[in-house]
Structure 1
């Protein structure tokens, strides 16, 4: 046990050391010194990270220990790049991001301490649904919602704005897991077979039609392709885990493809993103005043200039790309740490995702299996859409890269997601109480003998 704990703390210290070295190198190259305010705040966060690890050891002793070190390292690399862009833009986004990280650590630690049994979430499934929908629709409340760059996905809070959809995905994941766990048998019953696929019964299509309608409603009213795609994909993935039927995936893909094609032909902002994706290097798309491909092309040129090993932290020009610290942080990193560094970043995400799926496979509780797989698939899908969008694999969706991109609501929500995975993995890895068969047989024999003696006495 001591050796295991030493390996665990070594992983965490390694992640913290890499993050600190990245900050130190970047500041030395850009400012010639380490700013005192950053040094103090980084020290405080380092203590908070160690405290969070100690709480995991005490309250979730069997939890996966590979999740939090990867989260910390991804967060450190992302914040370093945000601070790097601050130097060229004259902003202070990175310092605010570190404050958000401190807030996220506090909330994640509280969840780790207080949530001994994740199954309590199942009791509040419909409450979670209501809260999730209210959060999702809150940006459309007059006076509360804020329209930024044509998307109405933010709300005003004291000191700035937050994106409530990041928290809505957690509450809707709770509801989806509980609903599908309760109705998995009905949904697994198949209908007619067409082209080798066992299609579901017509009466069982209701849930997917409702979620499709909600997703399209979000796309129409908030002009947010990424959020609508994420919610629909999460539900379809959890539906497949609950039933094991590939037909649900096929139906989900066809339904969303039809909705996306319809949206692209009706709404200008969706059509513009598709056109910029199909013809990014054309003069017409590149020189458009709004909705063109200038941002995508600039990001790709930044990626190309990084090559295999990058220009080095503090020696590139990531600030040239619009929103290089949020939507396009992946290309900003590619310029300064190169393809090798980007592959390392994807490996860190892969470790978190693999840990989540291993937890889902190991845990015996059906609700926990659905919740873990839904949460980790949401993260995996978000990484794919962001990386795919900035590398021209798919159209841009406007989503943020988990743990790395600037944005307090995304950072806090994803830390809570990681904490939930830690709690569920603790239940999955907890050893079952062993039963000594010899003691059991001996106890049963003594009980039988005593019963026999009592009967004999009664007969006398």
Structure 2
């Protein structure tokens, strides 16, 4: 073929074999983590290692095989990264449960991981065209508001550790905010597509010394910002859930900036949130307590009482140093919520700064692949949806690491795909399913290209 007749771009490839190789590496790391933990704890391989390992390998390979048929052009890195993070989370939950004598916890976590992967496949199977979700923006908005408000109800709402984030029924507990964030991103993606041109308009420019700093939007277009601000502050005040409040409002700001490309929305939004949080600080005692723990962590009275969890987490990471104590050789099980809110602290103690950075890099590589999906997509709704889902992963890690390192006040927030708990891992795998579907649609060739490729294969034979 001459250079003049050469195709301008390489044809899309499925890359499922490359995905399988990377899945093998992720599964090997998971099984090795189980084995290393058992050897450090009692000098022998854990009895349940093969059961957990075979179970996790089976559901992973099943997901991979299904992906070959229902989303063959999906990004080949997303599933291995999700499996890598989930597998490490399973290994750490098992290791922590051995320390406190709760041997059923790891089994339940494996079940929740399997349910999450099934939900991921359900999204891939039933959602062939993501743009159909664009038709129901206000339905998703209603779902997000209802889910966020459920824990506040007096009958089913449950308060734990000073925050109302759970609902309980029939002996089971659920954290609705984990699913509310997905509904919120779906609403924002659809709404911002409809209102993008209007929100991009500016009424006047703000200048300093003759230089334009930013453009101020029209007052009548501020309604979405005001509503988002009110919801965030209401979550902060009523449920005392600073983490979810920050996550929701931060995601909103990121998405509105991507849609409009106007920094003025971000500046105004951050100013509103800080102003509302300041007012809440002076009006509500539980907000004052969070800030007091943050600012005076090592005060003897605070360190021995309300700030004990944060202090123990800081000492645990310091104990880990650069390379850590080794899986199973530390004492992370002595920390409160070591397998959920502080699971990254547990990894920091036993794998050190180096191991923790590997985990953080894997999470942000997952975020990068999500943003790559947004760049490759042609429809604005799909771009915003992929961006919003990616920012949720990034913001969650920021809230967790920012809290345990005293960058922001410590608040309860799970690490996606890793923390113990059914709500968190199921919601995370639903988002993985959405990213896989979006990437498959963005990467697969047009119908005419598929026909031409098939004809070429027939001729070559």
* Both structures adopt the same fold (TM-score exceeding 0.5): yes
Task: Tell me if 1:236 matches 2:247.
Answer: no
Q: State the partner residue of 2:344.
A: 330
Give the structure with higher Rg (CA): 1
Give deviations 1:41-78, integer Å, cap 9, x for gaps.
43123111111111222111111111111111111112
Is 1:345 the counterpart of 2:359? The answer is yes
1:367 to 359, 362, 381: 381
In the alignment, the residues of structure 2 paired with residue 156 and residue 5 of structure 1 have an alpha-carbon distance, to the nearest angstrom, of 41
Distance, in Å, in 1 between the alignment partners of 2:14 and 2:137 is 40
Select the residue among 10, 22, 34 that pairs with 2:21. 10
| Structure 1 residue runs without a partner (length 5+) | 436-460
- CA RMSD in angstroms comes to 1.8
Residue number among 153, 163, 166 corresponding to 2:178 in the alignment: 166
C-alpha distance in 2 between matches for 1:159 and 1:107: 22
Deviations 1:259-292 (A, max 9, x none): 111222222222212121112112132133xxx2
What's the counterpart of residue 220 of structure 1? 237
In structure 2, C-alpha distance between the alignment counterparts of 1:170 and 1:4, rounded to whole Å: 28
Alignment equivalent of 1:406, drawn from 411, 420, 439? 420
1:429 pairs with one of 421, 435, 443: 443
Q: Please, which of 199, 204, 210 is the counterpart of residue 216 of structure 2?
A: 199
Alignment-derived partner of residue 269 in structure 2: 252
- Matches of residues 109-124 of structure 1 in structure 2 within 5 Å? 109-124=121-136
Within a 5 Å distance, the mapping from 1:292-311 to structure 2 comes to 292-311=306-325
Maintained 8 Å contact 2:31/2:49: no
- Distance change (3 Å), C-alpha of 1:265 and 1:65: same
Distance 2:289 2:317 in 1: 23
Contact 1:71 1:403 in 2 (8 A): yes
Give the Cα–Cα distance (whole angstroms) in 2 for the partners of residues 319 and 5 of structure 1. 39
State the partner residue of 2:3: none
TM-score (norm 2): 0.90
Q: Secondary structure at the match of 1:254?
A: helix
Once residues 225 and 87 of structure 1 are traced to their aligned partners in structure 2, the CA distance between those partners, rounded to angstroms, is: 31
Q: Distance in 2 between matches of 1:3 and 1:254?
A: 45
Gaps of 5+ in 2: 1-11, 208-212, 450-461
387-396 or 25-34, which moves further after superposition?
25-34
CA distance in 1, matches of 2:400, 2:447: 44
Does 2:38 match 1:27? yes
- SS of match in other structure, 2:205: strand
SS at match of 1:308: coil
What does residue 320 of structure 1 align with? Answer: 334
Question: Which of these residues, 153, 158, 162, is aligned with residue 146 of structure 1?
Answer: 158
Write the distance in 1 (CA, Å) between the matches of 2:84 and 2:171: 27
Counterpart contact for 1:55–1:112, Cα < 8 Å: no
Q: CA deviation at 1:34?
A: 4.5
**1:181-216 C-alpha deviation (Å, 9 max, x unpaired):** 001000001111113201100101111001111111
Residue number among 303, 317, 321 corresponding to 1:286 in the alignment: 303
d(CA) in 1 for partners of 2:300 and 2:351?
A: 30
Which sits farther off after the overlay, 267-276 or 341-350? 267-276
Distance, in Å, in 2 between the alignment partners of 1:398 and 1:59 is 36
- Tell me if 1:177 matches 2:194: no
CA offset at residue 38 of structure 1?
A: 5.1
Q: Secondary structure at the match of 2:136?
A: helix
Q: Secondary structure at the residue paired with 1:314?
A: coil
SS at the partner of 1:322? Answer: coil
What corresponds to 2:456 in structure 1? none
Does residue 43 of structure 1 match 2:54?
A: yes
Deviation at 1:37, TM superposition (A): 4.7
Q: Secondary structure at the match of 1:190?
A: coil
State the SS of the aligned residue for 2:383.
helix
- CA distance in 2 between counterparts of 1:127 and 1:31 reads 53
